[in-house]
Amino acid sequence: MKISGKMTELIEKYRKLVQKYLDLRSYNTAMFWADRVVVLTDNSKDVFWLAHCMYMEKQYHRAAFLLKARNLEKKNILCTSLAAKCYFEALDLEQALQVINNSDFNTPLTEGNIPPDIELGFLEDTSKSHAISSFLLLKGRILAAMDNRSLAANYYKQALRYDVYCFEALDLLTRYQMLSSQEEYELLNSLPFAEQCSIEEVEIVKHLYEMRLKKFHTPMEPKIPNLFASTPDCIRSLPGSIISTPMSSSDKMQIDSCVAVILSKFQTSLDFKVSQAEILYYNGDYDNCLKLTETVLQKDPYHEGCLPIHIACLVEYKQSTKLFSLGHKLVNLYPNKAISWYAVGCYYYVINNNDSARGNLTKATSLDKLFGPAWLVYGHSFANEKEHDQAMAAYFKASQLMKGCHLPHLYIGIECGLTNNVWLAEKFFEQAQAIAPNDPFTLQERGLICFQKQEYEKAEQYFNIALEKIRKVKRGPLTPMWAPLLNNLGHVCRKLKKYDQALEYHNEALILNPQHPATVSAVAFVYSLMDKCDEALEWFHKALSLNRDDTFSRTMLNSLLERAADDLLPYSDSPNELPNFKQSQR
């Protein structure tokens, strides 16, 4: 009795030691003592912890074998998860999936039932749903790694439903563009927040998740209008729309104010800023976006969510030196992350070294197969060289990876349009529009295809809708990004013989993007069609001074000059008839 009492005491002590050393990240020590405990007790809970220590020590196969030897991976959901995770980390996907599929919980869970006998004794304060959620999440990740993305998405969704706090599932869904925007919203609305969170939490969690959703499918306004009015850190306004729940008004007020305080705290978080930067980026406000990402990266130089946006901004501004140093830094520090090689690839893309760009982008995609942006830039690098077919192939790949993103379809359509395959282009634009019906870019491209098909009225309609969508969110002057849209409107109006309107649009485009040679020559062309010879001459001259190799302007100028010579009025106040000479009186 005494011995056994002593032993239990010892076992308890060692168990505590294991936990302590785990907390202190001394995994080897923890493993040693865990092993002692297992020897003493041969308890499956202790085996689980030993396996956990091995996992932390990156001895994946050993851990998995340990669990398998005792058949724990079948009976206990936590052990199943651990064993599968071990194989997953060891990149042994087949095995991992096998472990999951062979466990007792797999069948009921896939059928949507909660298995009744889940033993959770190993981990205190872990609820059933948490364990199931992590199990499902793992299964999803394994499937995604095996290129079975649609099934994976399903498991992520389930994982989220079992545990609304399981952010990783949401993150994976959104980051890899697995769902279309509509599906994302449906998912968010179907999550059982009310069952799993307290009342005030519902809104907070929902709000935090909303921030992560897609932003580029439709133009929207950044939540903080005066982001830079004073200091960027101080945030003034709060989001106004919060879903109200029926309750007595005073209670509601109280909770609302409490929620508001918490949310305003969250607004100072970097994640929030990054989401605002994304909105700014997609609105074409690169300037403010860059400022915001720079402030974020000052506080957290390797913020994962911020880097892609930051890189995109730098590409937009063609700041090759900054991209160069950023790429170097990232590759040195995180050679195993796709984003590092993506940055390098973008650098080469910006300096027009397309071959090297592709080399680095391939590296990025080999590190993270699902990294869509790399595939898109890969396509752009081909498009840059007018290699339309290869560009399309790259975009196709991207479209398979990013089911919920319309951009690949849009780019494929553009390439089709460039190769004069109007019909096919239209098909792709339709697909893109089905995913993102409000995207002004897609609308613009559709208009362009109509223009190519000489259906000018339809084209005008598309352009106008696009413009409307943009104006809805942006009060005041548009960003220079939209100058081409205005120019397109100008071209269409010219084709429809609405010359005054065409001039207006072109002039507006010039305000957005001054001294653009093509716009200037378009203005000149409209003037020449309006028979305003002098203005046309002036503007063609301007166009040629901006771009000397503009053959269109040169030809037009020549013909206009010849036409001007036929003018019957050689100078402004000249008589129409031949004058009669009056001899001076002498």
Partner 1 sequence: MDVTDIKIDLKTMKQDVLRGISQCSERGLVHALKWLSELNFSLNHIKLLAEDIPLVHEDCGEESATFLLAKSYFNLKEYDRCAFFVRNCTTPKPRFLHFYARYLAIEKKKLDNMTDTNCPPDPTQNDEMKALCSELKNSYYEDQLDGFCSYVYGIVLKKLDLKSQALDVFVKVVQKEPVLWSAWYELGKLACDKYNNILSQVPDHWMKYFFLAHTNLEQLNNDEGLEIYQKFYDMGLKNNSYVMSQIALGYHNNRKLLEAIEMFKKILEFDPYRLDNLDIYSNLLYVLENKTELADLAHKVVNIDKYRVETCCVIGNYYSLRSDHAKAVLYFKRALKLNPQFLSAWTLMGHEYMEMKNINAAIQSYRYAIEINARDYRAWYGLGQTYEILKMPFYSLNYYKQAQMLKPNDSRMIIALGETYEKLDRTENALKCYYKACAVGDVEGSALIKLAKLYDKLNDVENATAVFTEYCLREDEKKEKIPEEQPEYYSALQYLANYYLRKGHLDDAYMYAYKCLECEQTKEQGKALLKAIASKRIEQDDMEPDNEVSMSATREEDTKNDSNNMDLTF
Label each residue of 12-61 as H, E or C.
HHHHHHHHHHHHCCCHHHHHHHHHHHHHHHCCHHHHHHHHHHHHHCCCHH
Is 473 among the residues that bind partner 1 (CB under 8 A)? no
Quick one: which of 192, 301, 335, 514 contacts partner 1 (CB under 8 A)?
514
Is 361 among the residues that bind partner 1 (CB under 8 A)? no
Of 80-88, 246-254, 494-502, 514-522, the segment contacting partner 1 by CB under 8 A is 514-522
Of 18-26, 125-133, 339-347, 507-515, the segment contacting partner 1 by CB under 8 A is 507-515
Question: Helices 551-565 & 517-529, crossing angle to 10 degrees?
Answer: 30
Angle CA(194)–CA(195)–CA(201) in degrees, nearest 5?
A: 45
For partner 1, which is the closer residue by CB, 241 or 298?
Answer: 298
Distance, CA of 459 to CA of 462 (rounded, Å): 5
What's at 430, amino acid-wise? E
For partner 1, which is the closer residue by CB, 25 or 475?
Answer: 475
For partner 1, which is the closer residue by CB, 231 or 336?
Answer: 231
Distance, CA of 108 to CA of 359 (rounded, Å): 46
Q: Smallest Cα–Cα separation from 266: which of 185, 318, 328, 201?
A: 201
Is 1 among the residues that bind partner 1 (CB under 8 A)? no
* Phi-psi map region of 515: left, alpha, beta (phi>0 left; psi -120 to 50 alpha): left
Is 545 among the residues that bind partner 1 (CB under 8 A)? yes
Lookup: tokens for 532:
């305003």
Quick one: which of 23, 195, 476, 549 contacts partner 1 (CB under 8 A)?
476
Quick one: which of 4, 230, 249, 250 contacts partner 1 (CB under 8 A)?
230
Least distance from partner 1 to the Cβ atom of residue 310, Å: 17
Lookup: tokens for 193:
């927040």
CB atoms within 10 A of CB 96: 26
Task: Spell out, one character per residue from 184 to 223, where the chain touches partner 1: x when CB under 8 A holds, - when not.
Answer: ----------------------------------------
Of 14-22, 358-366, 453-461, 505-513, the segment contacting partner 1 by CB under 8 A is 505-513
For partner 1, which is the closer residue by CB, 320 or 452?
Answer: 320
Task: Spell out, one character per residue from 306 to 345, where the chain touches partner 1: x when CB under 8 A holds, - when not.
Answer: -----------x----------------------------
Least distance from partner 1 to the Cβ atom of residue 476, Å: 4
Quick one: which of 190, 254, 384, 547 contacts partner 1 (CB under 8 A)?
547
Is 479 among the residues that bind partner 1 (CB under 8 A)? yes
R_g of the chain, CA atoms, integer Å? 32
For partner 1, which is the closer residue by CB, 317 or 499?
Answer: 317
Quick one: which of 18, 34, 510, 522 contacts partner 1 (CB under 8 A)?
510
> Most distant CA pair in the chain: distance in Å?
152
Tabulate helix, strand, coil % of the chain (nearest 5). 70, 0, 30
Least distance from partner 1 to the Cβ atom of residue 306, Å: 21
Is 231 among the residues that bind partner 1 (CB under 8 A)? yes
Is 517 among the residues that bind partner 1 (CB under 8 A)? yes
Contact 275, 240 (CB under 8 A): no
Distance, CA of 282 to CA of 289 (rounded, Å): 9
- What residues numbered 94-123 form the site for partner 1, per CB under 8 A? none
- Judged by DSSP in three states, 140 sits in helix
For partner 1, which is the closer residue by CB, 245 or 558?
Answer: 558
Distance, CA of 275 to CA of 283 (rounded, Å): 13
- Judged by DSSP in three states, 168 sits in helix
Is 243 among the residues that bind partner 1 (CB under 8 A)? no
Is 453 among the residues that bind partner 1 (CB under 8 A)? no
For partner 1, which is the closer residue by CB, 189 or 559?
Answer: 559
For partner 1, which is the closer residue by CB, 498 or 563?
Answer: 563
What's at 549, amino acid-wise? D
Phi, psi of 24 (to 5 degrees): -85, 5
- In order of 6, 18, 45, the CA distances from 40 in angstroms are 12, 14, 12
For partner 1, which is the closer residue by CB, 23 or 573?
Answer: 573
Q: What is the dihedral of CA 43, 44, 47, 53, to 10 degrees?
A: -120
Least distance from partner 1 to the Cβ atom of residue 202, Å: 36
Say which DSSP state 585 is in.
P
Lookup: tokens for 585:
């009186």
Task: Spell out, one character per residue from 561 to 580, where the chain touches partner 1: x when CB under 8 A holds, - when not.
Answer: xx-xxxxx-xxxxxx--xxx
Distance, CA of 578 to CA of 261 (rounded, Å): 86
For partner 1, which is the closer residue by CB, 291 or 369?
Answer: 291
Of 228-236, 273-281, 357-365, 413-421, the segment contacting partner 1 by CB under 8 A is 228-236
Contacts of 583 (CB under 8 A, 6+ apart): none
Task: Spell out, one character per residue from 282 to 311, where the chain touches partner 1: x when CB under 8 A holds, - when not.
Answer: -----x------------------------
Of 106-114, 241-249, 434-442, 509-517, the segment contacting partner 1 by CB under 8 A is 509-517
Quick one: which of 477, 500, 529, 555 contacts partner 1 (CB under 8 A)?
477
Angle CA(58)–CA(61)–CA(65) in degrees, nearest 5?
A: 130
Distance, CA of 423 to CA of 417 (rounded, Å): 8
For partner 1, which is the closer residue by CB, 239 or 284?
Answer: 284
Residues within the interface to partner 1 (CB under 8 A): 228-231, 287, 317, 476-477, 479-480, 510-517, 537, 542, 545-547, 558, 561-562, 564-568, 570-575, 578-584, 586
